[in-house]
Amino acid sequence: MISFFNNSNIFKWIDNLINFINSFFFIILLIALTFALILSPPDYLQGDTVRIMYVHVPSAWIGLASYTCIAVLSLLNFLFKLKAARLVSKSIAPIGLMFTCLAIITGSIWGQPTWGTWWAWDARITSMVVLAIFYILYIIANKLILNESKSEKISSIVAIIGLINIPIIKYSVDWWNTLHQPASIKFMEASKIHPSMLVPLLLMFLALIFYCALIFLMKYKTEIIRIKKKNLKRL
C-alpha cells in the first residue's frame, strides 16, 4: 500500500481517476436531484420540508464514516508508522468536517419547522457538535504544530480518542430520550423508509460520495506536492 501511494506515477493516476469520476458525478447528481426535488413525494406531516433529509442524512453518514476512517488510519500510523495512512487521513479531515457542519446546519433548518426550534441540546445534536470539535482539533494539530513528529503523534491521539464519540452518535437515540427518531435504516433489518423516499436518499448519498472522492483526490495530490516541496527545501 505504501509503495503504491508513493509511486512516482501517482499524479498521473490521480488525474486519470479524477477525470473518470467527473464523467459520472454530474450525471448521478442530476438524477439524484431530480428524484429528491421532483419525483419523491412530500411527507404527509412535514410536507416539502422533508426534502432537507436528502442532504442532511447523507452528510451525517459521511461525517461519521470519514472520522472513523481517520481514527483507524491514525491508529495504524501510530502503531506501525505508516506515512501513507497519515497522508490519507489528513486529506479526509477537511471533507469530514465540511459534511459534519453541513449535517448540523441542515439539521437546524429542518428542526425549526419540525420541532419548533432551531436548536436543542439533545444527545444526537450535542454529540455531532463534539464530532466537529474533534475534527477541528485534529486539523489544528496538523496545521499549527510545526514539529512533524509531535504533530503526527498529537493528531493521532486526538483522532483515536474521538473515536469513542462515534458509537455515542449512532446509539444516542436508543440510549437517551431525544428529539431524533430511532434509525429508519439498519444493516440487518428492512428499511422503514418508503422506496419513493429511500431511492432518492441513496442516490444523493452516492452523488455526495463521488463528490468526496473528487475533493479527496485533489487534497491528497496537494499534500504530496507540499511534502515534495518541503523535501526539496532541505536539500
Q: What is the pLDDT of residue 189?
A: 73
Amino acid (1-letter code) at residue 224: I
pLDDT tens-digit readout, 28-87: 999 999 999 999 999 888 899 999 999 999 999 999 999 999 999 999 999 998 989 999
Interatomic CA distance for residues 227 and 83, integer angstroms = 11
Interatomic CA distance for residues 219 and 89, integer angstroms = 11
DSSP state of 177: -
- pLDDT (average), residues 87-98: 97
pTM: 0.91
DSSP state of 179: S
Residues 133 and 165 sit within 8 Å (Cβ to Cβ): no
Of 102, 75, 71, the residue nearest 215 (C-alpha): 102
Cell of 157: 491521539
Q: What is the pLDDT of residue 168?
A: 95
Cell of 53: 433529509
Kindly tell me the sign of the dihedral angle through the C-alpha atoms of 104, 106, 109, 110.
negative
Burial class of 204 by CB neighbour count within 10 A (0 to 12, 13 to 18, 19+): buried
pLDDT tens-digit readout, 159-177: 999 999 999 999 888 887 7
